Structure 1
Amino acid sequence: MAAPRVEVTKPGPRLGAIAVVMSDGHVLLARRRNPPDAGLWGFPGGHVEYGETALAAAARELKEETGIVATPVDYITNIDVILWDADGNPAVQYLLAVVLCEYVGGTPCPADDVEEAAWVPFDHVRRGDIPMSDRVIEVINQAIALRR
């Protein structure tokens, strides 16, 4: 008897979570060490583990990458990230759950794949004073509107 045929499929999208933490007119940002956003400032975050909610993952990744403790409050939005190979085919696809978190405590201390972590004034971000990942300004504006 022949073995059953198994259809080979491409790997599916990966789920990630990023944490948006604001305090006193500042937002916590992390400068990435590794590609694809090496050297750019963005929100701390990473992969959602199997059986973990995106809310919990955002808080966990935040603490792992920056030492900051925060409580996840609500979802802000989702961001699709698709990285293409040289032939124009999708190489990696992420769906990032953007999570608003309430600051509890801690001092930014870079760890994991973060070179630097800091509280950055909103106006510096909005002026583009630092090199940032896509959609950082848009997400901050959404977070501010959600908190009102």
Structure 2
Amino acid sequence: MEKIPRLGAIAVVLRGESVLLVRRGNPPDAGLWGYPGGHVEWGETALDAAARELLEETGVTATPRGYLTNLDIHRGSDGAVLDHYLLAAVLCDYVDGTPHAADDALEAGWVHRDRLPDLPSSPQVRALYELAVRATPTRLGSG
């Protein structure tokens, strides 16, 4: 595989005090819980890619609201580069659908914020949840 950075997008969707997560089936982070997402296709915005990947992986429809942040290089414990993705974390408003695992997700579902500390998850899950909550304070407790 050619060693070039890849552009991806992940969807951060809140519903009440829960967040939509998937257990990843493929590397990086296979077997861990994280946000649905994937590669941005040619001619597609990262906002649109996040909504598309969300639908493909979970069956949930959401409207992209805006960018939360970007995530970058994935390194091993020795500091070596394992993967180099630039991931656009996109805040999305839930529209419709019951989460189910599809595409490359092993499981999908709403995870209550109290479960986040003990969930085997990608390192950025809690931080992105907190960032999303700060970006949408009126949504807490509404669903």
Q: Structure 2 length normalisation: TM-score?
A: 0.88
Q: Percent identity?
A: 57
Unaligned runs of 5+ in 2: 138-143
Residue matched to 1:115 = 106
Question: Per-residue displacement from partner, 1:42-68 (whole Å, max 9, x unpaired)?
Answer: 000000001100000000000000000
Structure 1: gaps of 5 or more residues: 1-9
Shift of 1:135: 1.1
Q: How does 1:1-148 map to 2 (within 5 A)?
A: 11-83=3-75, 90=81, 92-125=83-116, 128-148=117-137
| Offset, 1:39 | 1.1
Residue identity matched to 2:62: A
State the AA in 2 paired with 1:145: R
CA shift, 1:129, in A, is 2.2
Q: CA RMSD in A?
A: 1.7
Q: Highest Rg: 1 or 2? A: 1
- How many corresponding residue pairs? 135
SS in 1 for 2:73: strand
Q: Quick one: higher RCO (CA 8 Å, sep 6+), 1 or 2?
A: 2
The structure-2 alpha-carbon separation of the partners of 1:14 and 1:123, relative to structure 1 and needing over 3 Å to count, comes to same
Residue type of the alignment partner of 1:121: H
